[in-house]
Amino acid sequence: MQTCFFALSGVLPHDESIHQIKKAIEKTYSKKGRKIIDQNFRAVDMTLENLFEVHIPLHTSASISKERKIPSFAPEFVRNVTQMMIAGNGDEIPVSALPIDGEYPSGTTQWEKRNISDRIAVWESDLCIQCGNCSFVCPHSVIRSKFYHKDYLDDAPPSFKSVYINARGFPETKYTLQVYLEDCTGCNLCYEVCPATDPLDRLRKAIHLDEKESRLEGERKNIQYFELLPHNDRPTVNYSTVHGVQFLQPLFEFSGACAGCGETPYIKVLTQLFGDRLLVANATGCSSIYGGNLPTTPWTKNAAGKGPAWSNSLFEDNAEFGLGMRLTADKQVSMAHQLLKKLEPHLGESIVQNLIESSQEKESEIAEQRHRVSQLKAILQRMDSGDAKHLLSIADQLVKRSVWLIGGDGWAYDIGSGGLDHALASGRNINVLVLDTEVYSNTGGQMSKATPTAATAKFAAAGKRVGKKDLAMQAISYGNVYVAQVAMGANPQQTLLAMREAEAYNGPSLILAYSHCIAHGIDMEKGLDQQNKAVMSGYWPLIRYNPVLRKNNKNPFVLDSPKPVIPFKSYAYNELRYKVLTQTQPDDAERLIQLAQEIVDLRWKTYVEMAGYGPNSFQPVL
Ligand SMILES: Cc1ncc(C[n+]2csc(CCOP(=O)(O)OP(=O)(O)O)c2C)c(N)n1
Ligand code: SF4
Ligand code: SF4
Ligand code: SF4
């Protein structure tokens, strides 16, 4: 671009400007060797050789228009305010149109149809085996599934797709997988994980990318119809399988994260599993930006109008912030218990006992507790005492809360590490989800203590020379912290299990989630495949350390991934962050990749021993 600018603008005489550009190249790359300098010279020369004028037509000939119309049934605020901001006319919004108390509606990404890809996912119902893999990994919550009685189809649009559900004992139940095509980014991850291939055409899978334009009108109607079908009742869904989770409504949808982002699917699954019981403290980073930016917000609500409570404090204090959420929720529950006991003569012994003592482990038990709480609230509304009013204000806390502290590696490994350690050491029932992209992604890919040996990053242009911090081992050393390392591209079922175990554990939990990212310099379509290679090389072992097992005299450390079958190199050199060093500093690259392999081998050996497969099997410290 610089060459083009000087060649066209005439700011300096032509030869003089090219001479200066080459001089700057020599200076910048002198340490990287003659080869790199010559390559840059060639880039300048070829730019000049290929510079040609582009004739801009007087009229546009494209027939595709980028419609940005918000439907008339959208909420008033969205039509009056959000729409103006989406259109880039935010400056024209009068102050009077904004809520005086700062309240801002959530769940608004559903109205911002970004239409960023003209190739979108298409479902082939005849091939689909209904496994749910595609919906599990979709970073943008674009793929939704529902099952319903076949009579619901009586008024369905002609192009609405459905098949009988693939489950015994439900002969009248139909299944639909609906793609929200205007929100699809064309990232292709769904195609990559779909196991159902047409035997007559190996490239045709049950979900694949195809052109959007001709489908737009029909699918808009189908989506509207799909929305009218009831969401599947949470207690009827099997939470323990990827297949089951597809029927749970995500409460995080259509975020503006990069197409194919490796972080967002983990957050989406969390919202599916724990729904409106979630309290989320979000560290600053990509997840706070795509999670809470304007004009629209991806955190949304269920049919009852309830959703996760989400907030972003600072980068450096997120763990303490989330711990505060836990302490507050616990305090409110203990106050509610005290008030229940005080009001027992008016409320009745069995109501109070059930509200305080009933188990809330299963979703069906949580549904029962919700029912009890709404009965309690109805009674309290009829009472006139101060205690009744106080209890009414905190009664919702009697339904178990699920507190999650979410952030990237820059937060967890580096800037927020002291606070995270403090929160883990508190023994409180908090859950930490680290979206590990191994760099500070949101600010352009700076090195963190999660950056692996031999990888380049900003501040590590010559390759990281030391090892990645083993945060899992640090947390395990406490003995009472649930710890898991997951990678959904390698084993989505293990990811699901870890999230459920972490939440069920009545103490601190930490999940480290491998998150592929544009900062890795990969073909993002292959992000999940890279996750799998990370596991297959032994670089990212899948582990679970569950202190509950120790109480049952079992080894709490479980190694979920198989023995490495490929060298670290075969995983790493698919990524530019590693590969670039082989061009710029080949000797260093060779040395560092060997060092990285040694670290992988050592860590694997340690984990194997901890899992009890080795000669000195792991003896947990009590
Ligand atoms: C104390 C402080 N330092 C720096 C920043 C600037 N900052 C915002 S996001 C971010 C990077 C976050 O990286 P990470 O935690 O790895 O999350 P990711 O973006 O990778 O998801 C930085 C450095 C900040 N907000 N606060
Ligand atoms: S292409 Fe990407 S965004 Fe679109 S449905 Fe598939 S996984 Fe989701
Ligand atoms: S991954 Fe393929 S087979 Fe599985 S539900 Fe999706 S479309 Fe169907
Ligand atoms: S920079 Fe990386 S982590 Fe951030 S949104 Fe993009 S892909 Fe996701």
Closest-approaching ligand to the CA atom of 439: 1
CB count within 10 Å of CB 344 equals 13
Q: Relative to the alpha carbon of 262, which ligand is closest?
A: 4
Q: What is the pLDDT of residues 58-88, one digit of tens each?
A: 988 877 666 667 888 899 999 999 999 998 9
pLDDT tens for residues 216-262?
999 999 999 999 999 999 999 999 999 999 999 999 999 999 999 99
CA of 439 to the centre of ligand 1 (A): 10
Helices 349-357 and 363-382 cross at an angle (nearest 10°) of: 140
Identify the three-state secondary structure at position 246. coil
For residue range 358-398, what is the model confidence (pLDDT) as tens digits? 999 999 999 999 999 999 999 999 999 999 999 999 999 99
Q: Is 279 in contact with 272 (CB distance < 8 Å)?
A: no
Contact criterion met (CB below 8 Å) for 110 and 253: yes
Q: What percent of the chain has pLDDT over 90?
A: 90
Write down the residue that tokens 């203990």 correspond to. Answer: 334
Ligand 1 pocket mutation pick from 266, 293, 433, 442 by most atoms within 8 angstroms of CB = 442
Backbone angles phi, psi at 150, to 5 degrees: -60, -20
Nearest to 273 by CA among 300, 253, 249: 249
- The pLDDT value given to residue 65: 66
| Segments of 140-295 assigned E as strands | 143-149, 163-164, 173-179, 197-198, 201-205, 207-211, 278-282
> Residue 617: pLDDT above 80?
no
pLDDT tens-digit profile of 339-349?
Answer: 999 999 999 99
Span 456-499, pLDDT tens digits: 999 999 999 999 999 999 999 999 999 999 999 999 999 999 99
**In this structure, which residue's CA is closest to atom 2 in ligand 4?**
517
C-alpha to C-alpha distances, 75 to 91, 106, 291, nearest whole angstrom:
21, 11, 20
Averaged over 29-58, what is the pLDDT? 92
Q: Which of 261, 267, 284 to mutate to test the pocket of ligand 1 (most atoms within 8 A of CB)?
A: 284
Both structure tokens of 316: 């450096």
Residue 264 near residue 252, CB atoms below 8 Å? yes
Question: Which pLDDT score, from 0 to 100, does residue 618 have?
Answer: 46
- pLDDT band with cut points at 50, 70 and 90 for residue 622: very low
CB of 142 shorter than 6 A to ligand 2:
yes
Residue 32 has pLDDT above 90, yes or no: no
Does residue 416 line the site of ligand 1, with CB under 6 A? Answer: no
pLDDT at 352: 98
- The residue whose C-alpha atom lies closest to atom 13 belonging to ligand 1 is 440
Tell me the backbone φ, ψ of residue 163, rounded to 5 degrees: -140, 165
Judged against a pLDDT cut of 70, whether residue 585 lies above it is answered with: yes
Eight-state DSSP code of residue 411: I
Average pLDDT over residues 517-540: 98
Q: Is the pLDDT of residue 569 over 90?
A: yes
Give the chain's count of helices (H) and strands (E): 25, 17
DSSP-derived pairing of the beta strands 482-486 and 119-123 = unpaired
Q: Please spell the DSSP secondary structure of 103-143, one letter per residue.
A: ------GGG------SEEEEE-TTT-----HHHHH-TT--E
Q: Taking 80 as the threshold, does the pLDDT of residue 615 lie above it?
A: no
- Atom number of ligand 2 nearest to Cα 188: 1
180 pLDDT more than 60? yes
The C-alpha atoms of residue 609 and residue 618 are separated, in whole angstroms, by 6
Q: Residue 277 has which token pair?
A: 């019981």
CA distance 12 to 48: 15
Three-class SS state of 357: helix
**Centroid of chain to Cα 233:** 24
Q: How high is the pLDDT of residue 198?
A: 94
Mean of the per-residue pLDDT values of the chain: 95
Q: Which backbone phi and psi does 211 adopt, to 5 degrees?
A: -70, 150
* Spacing, Cα 534 to ligand 2 middle (Å): 22
pLDDT above 70 (res 265): yes
Helix (H, G, I), strand (E, B) or coil at 403: strand
What's the pLDDT at 620? Answer: 41
Instruction: Say which amino acid occupies 239.
Output: Y
Is residue 390 within 8 A of residue 472, CB to CB? The reply is: no
pLDDT-derived band at 263, boundaries 50, 70, 90: very high
Residue (of 128, 196, 191, 195) closest to 163 by Cα position: 128
Position 560 scores a pLDDT of 96
The reported pLDDT for the residue numbered 102 is: 83
pTM (whole model) above 0.85: yes
Mean pLDDT confidence for 550-567: 94
Question: Can you give the pLDDT at residue 69?
Answer: 75
Ligand lying nearest the CA atom of residue 255:
4
- At 62 the pLDDT is 78
Is the backbone of residue 387 left (phi > 0), alpha (psi -120 to 50) or beta? Answer: alpha
In this prediction, residue 444 carries a pLDDT of 96
Any bridge partners for residue 511, and if so which? 433, 484
Measured distance CA(316)–CA(321) in Å, rounded: 10
Residue 525: closest CA among 191, 186, 187: 187
Do 467 and 437 contact (CB within 8 A), yes or no?
no
